[in-house]
Amino acid sequence: MNLKIGYARVSTIGQDLETQKDLLEDAGCEKIFVEKVSGTSRENRVKLREALDFLRPHQGDELVVTKIDRLARSVFDLHSIANDLENRGVNIIFLKEGLDFSTSNGKMMFTMLGAISEFEADLIRERTKEGRERAKKQGKHMGRPGRSEKDIRRALKLYDEKETNGMSIMDIVRTTGVPKATLYMKLRQRNK
């Protein structure tokens, strides 16, 4: 009996996997591999490797993914995965695009949509880089918002009194909201 194996992925913690899991369950997937990791490379995608290893060669198994860009973000990587699975006799189905890799039309559309997905990802990276550079030129702060000087002074005071107040560094961090790295940096600056 052939198996339908699902693979779901989101790039960031804020994204939701539930919709993908629901779609994969509705498609009849018996087992679903889920991860929250960037799709730019296969290196750190443990659950993808597990899903690919779980699929049995030449048994009619299918890998079901909600969208092409959930499987990979580059045409090269998409083709590498697809060719490996095809050589093992495993079919790929992409639900959103309605693609079945076992057909000639499916393979052609797969290549075209994969190229478009890669193009979109490149555009996003390009726009993000341009936005960062523009913000830096305008003198805007990049990264997490900094803590107020009042919070930092309070953290330093608590640090100085830690022998008497019994607070650890982590207690000070939790109490003041000043990150540990910031506290240590300010301590180094003060001690110079």
Residue-wise pLDDT for 20-52, tens only, equals: 999 999 999 999 999 988 766 566 789 999 999
Would you state the pLDDT for residue 190?
85
158, 175 contact by CB (below 8 A): yes
Structure tokens belonging to residue 177: 């909201």
The average confidence (pLDDT) of the chain is 86
59 phi, psi to nearest 5 deg:
-115, 5
Which candidate in 11, 38, 80, 104 is catalytic? Answer: 11
Q: Minimal CA–CA distance to 24: which of 66, 54, 71?
A: 66
**Does 148 qualify as catalytic in the annotation?**
no
Residue 16 has pLDDT above 80, yes or no: no
